[in-house]
Amino acid sequence: MDRIIVLDYGSQYTLLLARRIREIGVLCTVTTPDCFTFDNSIRGVVLSGGPQSVYEEGSADFPEQLHELSVPILGICYGMHLLAKRMGGFVSRGIRGEYGLTAISVDTNHLRGIPSEIEVWMSHGDEVTSLPESCSVIARSRNGTIAGFTNGRDLAFQFHPEVHQTQYGKELIERFVLGICGASRDWKISDFTNEKIGEIRRTVEGKNVVGGLSGGVDSTVAAALTTRAIGDDFIGIFVNHGLMRKNEELEVPGTLKSLGMNVITVDASQEFFFALKGIVDPEEKRRAIGETFVKVFEREANKLRADFLLQGTIYSDVIESGASSRSAEKIKSHHNVGGLPENMKLTLLEPIRELFKDEVRNLGRSLGIDETLINRQPFPGPGLGVRIIGEVTAERARILKEVDSIFLEVLEESGEIERIWQSFAVLLSISSVGVKGDKRSYGLVVALRAVDSHEGMTASWHALPHNLLREVSSRITSRVKEVGRVVFDITDKPPATIEWE
């Protein structure tokens, strides 16, 4: 089977790039430059972006193996700088960086079918200042910066064609993968399913696996895939940490049991609240939740004599935690990848860590999971623990559950929830003066968040109708006496992340 390989130099978009290529129907895998090995299935190589500068001492370099190979290369951002340097060009610090949407002019003779001016997603401080005569500039920013070049076979872009905001990004990637590399479209999600089932069986070798089941898409699909692979050797454990959405500690186990899974319910809410007592730092909260989660799991797994711990880690978790590459910069740790102690006694099993959210949903459909579960909104592993700013207590969790339930209730009644990728409420650590019943009040402040996204790597805030926001605010301040003010978050990702912590 034909394959495109992405060399990861630490870009936050590396696996998003791989996903775009898989969307075309071509197998794509990711590795680091030092682990790269060539085989005859590889039809092309992509050099990803990254946070380093090619002129700095110790920066990641062009792989030696690639010097001898004749396969086409696509360089993106840092990858473009590597390609330019290798060909004899020069790269230096730019006068000003380019970040976010930027207009570029395109040489339509080289990039046929692409308009002469498009908007692309930039994220760089360095720039290519000169190229050898063997290369042609095929795109420039409005300030004259080189935004793309080719030597007739290899291709390079300063911008990120893999990000949805880039116009004609899919066409540019297809031009490289199908047009230049000549790769065949013969990869399907069923191939991934069969490959992972075999991999799980080989890894587990008849031993028992326990998995955390939250009712979310990721953990449910990971559990269904593992059950398909090893049957009764998998047992799901639902840990009630007290930080689920309202009533989910009752609804989720029932739903999962209806799928034919073995589910054990453990109420550890008091244990989690005790572990979180006095903690306000987001990273410390995530770590406390992760460590308590593992402790509870180890205790239950020991009763079951399990050897493996299944987690529904997906790649947006891995990327944001900086775990995808030694060059990647950490944004925040994730419950599934950052809160695990070194002495954990269970071996991790993460069969869907290479997939994005919509790919996970497609995998779930292929496994026969009901659409109501497949289309469930994303919910973080630490639950409401990362939506309560400041100390997490049982009382503050109760308040947020009520607020969040009212927000989702109004969204469902209006039908607006069908148009939103993710929506939730956040309890802030401040209070605000107000007036209730002709008396001065001093109540908590909550923020509402609604975003549109395709895979969670980038997101735009969703413009909710004003009358809907008015209704939500009215219901919250009327029904939840502790809340005195409601605000709406209008920040994209980037610069913010989807979750507040």
Q: Which residues of 60-71 are buried (b: 16+ CB within 10 A; e: fewer)?
A: bebbeebeeeeb
Q: Which of 162, 248, 271, 320 is catalytic?
A: 162
CA–CA dist 283, 162 (Å, integer): 29
Q: Quick one: which of 405, 446, 399, 451 has its CA closest to 426? A: 446
Q: Which two tokens stand for residue 376?
A: 């469930």
Q: Is 488 exposed, middle or buried (0-12, 13-18, 19+ CB in 10 A)?
A: middle
Structure letter (DSSP) for residue 493: B
**β-bridge pairing 117-130 and 136-141:** unpaired
Our answer to whether residue 409 is catalytic in this structure is no
| CB count in 10 Å sphere of residue 296 | 19
Task: 436-445: list long-range contacts, CB under 8 Å, 24+ apart.
Answer: 436/484, 441/484, 442/484, 443/477, 443/481, 443/482, 443/483, 443/484, 443/485, 444/399, 444/482, 444/483, 444/484, 444/485, 445/483, 445/484, 445/485, 445/486, 445/487
Our answer to whether residue 135 is catalytic in this structure is no
Q: Which of 77, 298, 334, 359 is catalytic?
A: 77
Q: Which of 160, 164, 335, 462 is catalytic?
A: 160
CA–CA dist 488, 473 (Å, integer): 10
| CB count in 10 Å sphere of residue 303 | 10
Q: Which two tokens stand for residue 142?
A: 């409005």
DSSP, collapsed to helix, strand or coil, labels residue 118 as: strand
CA–CA dist 332, 374 (Å, integer): 26
Mention every residue, 6+ apart, whose C-beta is less than 8 A from residue 334: 286, 313, 317, 318, 320, 321, 381
Enzyme catalytic residues? 77, 160, 162
